[in-house]
């Protein structure tokens, strides 16, 4: 129970931060500035306050689902934990919706940057890239994906999409891009966006610098 409670708490904290971030976005406020401020409160702490496209991996989904299921077998509905999962599941939808504000996705060429569920691993279990790619394909887009280490792993799940050897290769001639994993190398991208057909960037991890010459949407900022 301690292990489940620990991971359920952290997952719920991230989902709450994402929920607050979505609200900030609606009011054209930068959620990161808001979270930097509340993180100064030592009752909250500054950790796990980065909003974005959501959590994945093996532990958070498995343990949250396990504690929810266990509660339900005893006749208790864990409303907060269920809401945390729901918020997390909707973040990829919001990402694709922002992209569709600028790009007609039917027939568009979209670059997906980042496939692992977090940086510095090739683990794609419950990666937020999976629902993002599913949505893009359902809407008629052609997808080129790139991850520094997880291309081969994702190819077992999506053999029908293209995989690039570099971020620059993925971006070339793309009609839009989504940043799903916060790899450090994505923060160094700049002129590569100029090679896109239409430089539309939806950033789910606050990796990319907003600048003139690209249409930039942060997911919660």
Catalytic residue ranges: 59
* Residues shown for the chain: 221
Class of residue 76 by CB neighbours under 10 A (exposed 0-12, middle 13-18, buried 19+): exposed
Rounded Cα–Cα distance for residues 140 and 209 (Å) = 29
Judging by DSSP bridges, how do beta strands 109-113 and 200-203 pair with one another?
unpaired
CA–CA dist 26, 218 (Å, integer): 12
**Tokens found for residue 100:** 């569709």
Q: ∠150-152-156 over CA atoms, to 5°?
A: 115
Question: Which SS3 state, helix, strand or coil, does residue 163 take?
Answer: strand
Query: Hey, how many other C-beta atoms are within 10 angstroms of the C-beta on 209?
Result: 13
């Amino acid at each position: 129970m301690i292990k489940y409670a620990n991971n359920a708490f952290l997952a719920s904290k991230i989902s709450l931060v994402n929920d607050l971030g979505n609200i900030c976005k609606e009011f054209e406020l930068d959620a990161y500035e808001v979270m930097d401020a509340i993180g100064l409160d030592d009752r909250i702490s500054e950790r796990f306050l980065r909003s974005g496209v959501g959590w994945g991996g093996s532990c958070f989904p498995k343990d949250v689902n396990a504690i929810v299921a266990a509660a339900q077998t005893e006749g208790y509905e864990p409303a907060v934990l269920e809401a945390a999962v729901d918020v997390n599941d909707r973040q990829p939808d919001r990402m694709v919706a922002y992209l569709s504000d600028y790009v007609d996705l039917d027939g568009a060429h979209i670059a997906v940057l980042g496939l692992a569920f977090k940086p510095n691993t090739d683990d794609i279990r419950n990666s937020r890239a999976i629902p993002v790619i599913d949505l893009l394909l359902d809407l008629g887009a052609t997808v080129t994906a790139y991850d520094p280490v997880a291309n081969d792993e994702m190819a077992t799940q999506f053999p029908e999409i293209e995989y690039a050897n570099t971020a620059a290769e993925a971006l070339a001639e793309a009609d839009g891009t989504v940043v799903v994993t916060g790899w450090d190398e994505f923060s160094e991208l700049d002129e590569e966006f100029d090679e896109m057909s239409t430089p539309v960037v939806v950033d789910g991890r606050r990796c990319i610098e907003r600048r003139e010459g690209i249409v930039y949407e942060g997911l919660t900022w």
